[in-house]
Amino acid sequence: MKMLFSMPNEFATGWLTAGFNFWRSLPVAGGSAMTVVDADGKEVCPATPAPLDAAMRAGVTCWQQQTTLWSGAIGGIAGTLPAPEPVVEPARGDRRFHAKDWSSNAWYSLLKQSYLINSRMLADIVEASTLDEKEKHKLRFFTRQFIDLASPANFAATNPEVIQQALESSGSSLFAGLTHLLEDVKQGAVSITDRGAFEVGRSVAASQGSVVFENDLFQLIQYAPLTASVARRPLLIVPPCINKFYILDLQPDNSFVRFAVEQGLTVFIVSWRNPDADMADTRWDAYLDEGVMKAIEVARAITRADKVNTLGWCVGGTMLSSALAVMRANGDESVASVTLLTALLDFSDPGDLGVFIDELGVSMRERTIGRGGLYPGKELGFVFQALRANELIWPYVVNNYLKGNKPAAFDLLYWNADTTNLPGPMYSWYLRNMYLENNLRVPGKLTMCGTPVDLGRVDMPSYLLATQEDHIVPWQSAWRSMQLLGGEREFVLGESGHIAGVVNPASKNKRGYRTNRGAGGSAEAWFKSSEKQSGSWWNHWITWVKQHAGDSVKARTTPGNAKYPPIEPAPGRYVKALAD
């Protein structure tokens, strides 16, 4: 299908380039030698120059395991011998082979184990390459994509559950799967949730509030108070512009917005406009000047507070920090504190997203959409899905197309599928100056809104949250912000990943987080001396932010003010616009 098999250019060129570079990196002569022997000490292959040693060892191990597997499996398949003990087992948490037949049926057990053995060999060969770490990361990533695709669980003829369901339904499951496939081809994306199960403004993004300001870039939502008194200083939330804001306001029991309001904060949130042709020329500076800084100004004016507390998530955190650097350089002291949730300021290790970033790719973006145009939200959404293909692509291919089932209703995945476009000039500038050249961390290297920026000038208290299993913002990279920002800093490490680690409701008391009052000389040193805390980081954060929220005042039940009257009820029009 279009989005599944016509991958973005970065995928195709990246996999081929990484593979070519690997084989080019292997020497044909020279280096130390080794001799591979079997368990009895018999030479299996002649002395081989390094670094082919490890690659050859991986091949020999694969050959030995396959020999053991097939010799034991033949009798099991024929029914003359009991099923042998497995040679290899799936990794813990691998859900692809949970069905009983993958273990009890000799044929399917053979398929599974043969696949796992070959997969391990490919992974070991990648690790044996002499590529530099950045190129090896690319090769590792694209090899994993191939390994994930090749799983026997992904094909109707080799998946016992698919075959059983087809037999029991007299083929109707396959027909239903074909129908689902054609529907997804039409919409250009793999369905990962029941799109009809949720409605923005009713079942998600349903917290009561009003839009109190709007321009061509964003709407500002002010939420209704849920307490008789509130802190004098409000909280302004800047979500990423690459997704919609309601990840922080999904449903009442997992809404960060509602939690903050229940704790006595006046909450404002930026709802970015989903870019269309009218925004094709919008640049990074506009997101700071007409976006973040304008939102701070309006929130402060409505509440008549001396200062506001701010929070940015992911790219929203990068934009917020950039805007604060501009403001502080110009003597603006209207922000009391800053909270950054899984945000990058130092892009030296950008995680798996880094495999898509190189000079060739960025230059191509600059030539095509950098002077005007849009980066499609569906393409960006597919890239994020590919980062975790075994969780966000292949299970839905099997469930939707091979089994003929409909995906379940899941609010987080509904949000994930509700994509947004990006203005080409803004996106291209962001790729080059953040991911490719890592300029933000260098004081004075970048000029934004006419002002040279220095993150060290961001000297208000800061709360930095990272998550241990984050594949988009590695926690060690998020920790580097401790070395860039000025002022008092608090670093907290939550469990789970980029989304689930942040959306961890306090009421459910799940997971945990780590704290360490000492700064530590490195991320590893910080972790080693940190202490694990139970429950949600939300409770830890609310205690911290209230220290900067001022005294209590009577809650105002009327949103906005004379200058900024209510425009429409929350969540407003902008969040409901779909990416074309």
Catalytic residues: 314
**How many Å from the N-terminal Cα to the C-terminal Cα in the chain?**
18
Nearest alpha-carbon partner for 463 in 553, 336, 353? 336
Structural tokens at position 392: 């966000």
User: Rounded distance, CA 459 to CA 461, Å?
Assistant: 7
Distance CA 45, CA 183 (A): 53
CA-closest candidate to residue 547, choices 507, 490, 480: 490
Residue 536 token pair: 């949600």
Strands 235-238 and 308-313: parallel
Nearest residue to 235 via CA among 286, 211, 270, 200: 270
Buried b (16+ CB within 10 A) or exposed e, 368-389: ebbeebbbbbbbbbbbbbbbeb
- CB contact at 8 A, 544 and 463: yes
Question: What does the block give as tokens for 358?
Answer: 């190189």
Peptide bond before residue 571 is cis, with ω within 30 degrees of 0: yes
Bridge-based pairing state of the strands 218-223 and 374-375: unpaired
Total number of residues shown for the chain: 580
- Residue (of 460, 506, 425) closest to 328 by Cα position: 460
Distance CA 140, CA 151 (A): 17
What lies within 8 Å, CB to CB, of 82 at 6+ separation is 76
The full DSSP string for 351-412 is: GGGGGG--HHHHHHHHHHTTTS-EE-HHHHHHHHHHTTHHHHTHHHIIIIIIS-PPPPP-HH
Contact present, 346 and 442 (Cβ < 8 Å): no
Q: Which helix (H) or strand (E) holds 489?
A: strand 489-494
Cβ atoms 49, 30 nearer than 8 A? yes
Cα–Cα distance measured from residue 493 to residue 540, given in angstroms and rounded to the nearest whole number: 11
Q: Please name the residues in contact with 278: beta carbons below 8 A apart, sequence gap of 6 or more.
A: 216
Tell which residue, 334, 316, 336, has the closest CA to residue 326. 334
- Provide the 10 A C-beta neighbour count for residue 213: 24
Instruction: Kindly report the three-state secondary structure assignment for every residue of 122-188.
Output: HHHHHHHCCCCHHHHHHHHHHHHHHHHHCCHHHCHHHCHHHHHHHHHCCCHHHHHHHHHHHHHHHHC
